[in-house]
Amino acid sequence: MTATSHTHIFIPGTDPIRVPLVLLHGSGGDEQELVPLAADIAPGSPILGTRGTVPIDGGFAFFHRFEDRTIDEGDITGRVSVLTDFIEAASTRYSVTKTPIAIGFSNGAIMAAALLLTRPGLLAGAILFRPLSPFRDDLPTRQDGARVLIIDGEG
């Protein structure tokens, strides 16, 4: 894959010591959806806003769900490799040398969790808003050193 396998935006950081952020939007969103939140969370960080490749509800998602809204684990597993390749290629293309932190919402948070569980070392950590577990069965992967903040609640 190349850095162009996903539609995306890259906003160079203004502070060279900041950790880069990879943004993964929710169902029906796009690569711009989480940019204001990322700017509030980590001003000056480089931002890679990534668009999912699955058209849904006038926007996009990172993976398919079944009709009952459960996660299509086969689909998410196949898409993890493509997204991993994209993040690595984009990091090279934009000269990002630090390991990024993902910020994901809903569908994007589930995808970020899948990346953490199946691709150790790709992400330094994640902030996950409204995630579900991407897999029914636990994977034998330890995430030593990867910090994860999970935020979920009813409004």
Read off the pLDDT of residues 145-155 as tens digits, 9 standing for 90 and up: 789 999 997 76
Read off the pLDDT of residues 12-29 as tens digits, 9 standing for 90 and up: 999 989 999 999 999 999
Whether 125 and 146 have beta carbons less than 8 Å apart is answered as yes
Read off the pLDDT of residues 25-52 as tens digits, 9 standing for 90 and up: 999 999 999 999 999 999 999 999 999 9
Q: Taking residues 100-125, what's their average pLDDT?
A: 96
3-state secondary structure of 89: helix
Q: How far apart are the first and last CA of the chain?
A: 39
Read off the pLDDT of residues 57-89 as tens digits, 9 standing for 90 and up: 899 999 999 999 899 999 999 999 999 999 999
Tokens representing 152 are 């979920």
DSSP state of 32: T
Beta bridge partners of 21: 47, 101
Q: Which pLDDT score is estimated for 154?
A: 72
Amino acid symbol at 136 = R
Residue 1 has pLDDT above 60, yes or no: no
